Structure formats: C-alpha cells, structure tokens
Amino acid sequence: MREIEYREAIKEAIIEEMDRDPKVFLLGEDIGVYGGAFRAYKGLLEKYGPERVVNTPISEQAIVGGAVGAALTGYRPVAEIMFVDFCTLAMDQIVNQAAKINFMTGDALHVPMVLRTQGGSGTGIAAQHSQSLESWFYHIPGLKLVMPATPYDVKGLLKTAIRDNDPVVFIEHKTLYLNKGPVPEEEYTIPFGVADVKREGSDITIFAYSAMLLKALAAAEELAKEGISCEVIDPRTLVPLDTDTLINSVKKTNRLVIVSEAVERGSVASDILAIVNDKAFDYLDAPVKRVCGLNTAIPYNSKLEKACIPTKESIIDAVKEIV
C-alpha cells in the first residue's frame, strides 16, 4: 500500500468530500493562496475557487459564527482555526451555539460543521500556541471530538466528520503533519466511537491518543525487549468514546497506563481513569497510572518544553512501576 503524509491524507479527504457534495466548503485564515498554516489546503483555491475556499479575516468569532450559520442553512462547512489556543476567541459560538442548537430546537435543527484545528506542543512556539485543550470540548454535551494519530485514521475520520450531522471538533497534533503512513487509494470511512488496538499485548494496557500514541508504541517496543507485553489502545474519537474496547483490554491485562499530553488536572485522562474504576475495578491488579503533561503552561525553551510533556521514558517508567 502507498504511504502518504498526514497532511496529504487530510487534503485527500477534503477533495473527495468536496467532489462528492457541493454543499461542502472551507473557511479559515490563510487557507486560500497560502494553503493553510500547515499546507493541508495547498492548491484547493485553484481547484474550487473562492466561493468554496473562503479566506477569512483574522477573526475566530467570524469563522465559527459563519460556519454555524452556513450549517443551519444546509451547507457542510469545514472551518479551520489555525491553533486550538485561538478557539478561546470563539467559545461562545462553539459551546453555546453549535453544541446546543440541536438540543434547544428538539432535534429540528442540525449543525453539520467540522471545526478543524491543531493542538499540542513540540515546535517551540510557546505558551499561547502549544496547548492541549481537548478536555474543554470533551466536557461539552453536543460536541463530537476526534483526535487521529495516523494518516490512515485522519483521512477516514475526517470524511466521517464532514458527513456527520452534528458539530465535530477535529484536533490534529502539529507534530504529525509530515508523518507518513499507509493509506488506501480506494475510498473508505472510519466510524466514530470505534477504538483501534494498535498493538496487542497481555501484561498491561496503554491508552494513548494523538501524538502520544506514537510515544506509547515506541515505549511498548522497548518494553517488549524486557519481556513486558503491552496492549496499546488508540480511541481515535474521544466523543463518542469506545469504552468497551478499553474495558475488555483492562479485563485481559489487569493493568492500565493512560497517556495524554494535556495537563493532568481536569484532564481526559482523569475521566478515563474514573470510567475504568467504575466498570473494571475488580479486574485491576494495580492502581491505574496517568502519564500527563505537567500542570504548567508550555515554556518557549525547547528543553523545558520537552520536560513538560510525556516522553517514551516516562511511559516506560510508569509501566514498570505497576508491572
């Protein structure tokens, strides 16, 4: 199978969906001539024109508000917010409008929009451009939350997101765009709420998503050399969450490490821990461990930045502590 970059998989998904449905269009800052901050839209302005590739002013409120309005009139907008940090400027539109309109109208109105954004650290762009804010959206009823780690997953899940009738927050990690992986040439989609067992094992389960999945897999490879068999679970979508795959894995391995780049306090990792305690406590042979970001803003200094988030070594240490 051919291998393509993560950002190329995003572009392919968008082209296929724009060709399939004329109601799909793009809007965001610098997505026109420039092709987007991470060049996932390169060439699309020439292909579809300015009516379907809408280069917006620098106003996150306008981008999301425009997307909500367009979705309510039958379009399927894909709105890009350049950094997840900038969603702070549009939280009213995301949380009080997009997420709640379907509920408040008794299912009479839908908001079929995708909010594409990127998060995470690793590129030295400091505290206001390096956050992992997925727990904000995870907390809000009415939003779906997708965080793909591989080119295969990002393409299949983005196509599903564009076809969904509800608002989807689609967060891509900034360090993944140049990663290559196998992606079929034929069309495919990936359903929401279906986790993927990226590596089978018997001694311990590692639950990891987005860029942390790659570190978890690297840690599992190292641990295998020492005779520790790790099962690595990638949820792919956090809302809806495939709890069955996770719980069944914990029942098999009897141990769990949860890896998330976001700060530990109030994190998705904390909720996953609670879910496992509720549903599989009697199967646990050791306390569940979280390996998360430190409760601090991300510093500009590259060495300090690396020290603030999980590493392959910190995952290995957590696994060894409970195995």
Instruction: Check which CATH number belongs to the domain holding 52 and give it.
Output: 3.40.50.970
**Residue 216 belongs to a domain with what CATH number?**
3.40.50.920
Q: Which pLDDT score, from 0 to 100, does residue 37 have? A: 87
Domain boundary among 132, 158, 182: 182
Q: Which pLDDT score, from 0 to 100, does residue 88 have? A: 96
Q: Which pLDDT score, from 0 to 100, does residue 297 have? A: 96
Residue 188 lies in a domain: no
pLDDT by residue (tens digit) across 223-268? 999 999 999 999 999 999 999 999 999 999 999 999 999 999 999 9
Looking at 126-165, list the stretches that DSSP marks H as alpha helix, in order from N- to C-terminal side. 134-138, 151-163
**Whether residues 160 and 227 fall in one domain:** no
**Whether residues 68 and 213 fall in one domain:** no
Phi, psi for residue 180 in degrees, rounded to 5: -105, 150
Residue 151 lies in a domain: yes
Based on the structure, what is the number of domains in the chain?
Answer: 2
Q: Rounded to whole angstroms, what are the CA distances from 315 to 5, 222, 250, 293, 323?
A: 26, 11, 17, 12, 12
**Whether residues 243 and 283 fall in one domain:** yes
**Whether residues 203 and 147 fall in one domain:** no
**Whether residues 29 and 153 fall in one domain:** yes
Q: Which domain holds residue 66?
A: 3-182
**Whether residues 157 and 261 fall in one domain:** no
Reading the block at residue 261, the tokens are 């780049």
**Whether residues 57 and 175 fall in one domain:** yes
**Whether residues 27 and 167 fall in one domain:** yes
Q: Which residues contact 278 (CB under 8 A, 6 or more apart)?
A: none
Residue 61 lies in a domain: yes
**Whether residues 167 and 276 fall in one domain:** no
Active site (catalytic) residues: 60, 129
Residues of the chain with pLDDT under 50: none
Phi, psi for residue 177 in degrees, rounded to 5: -60, -30
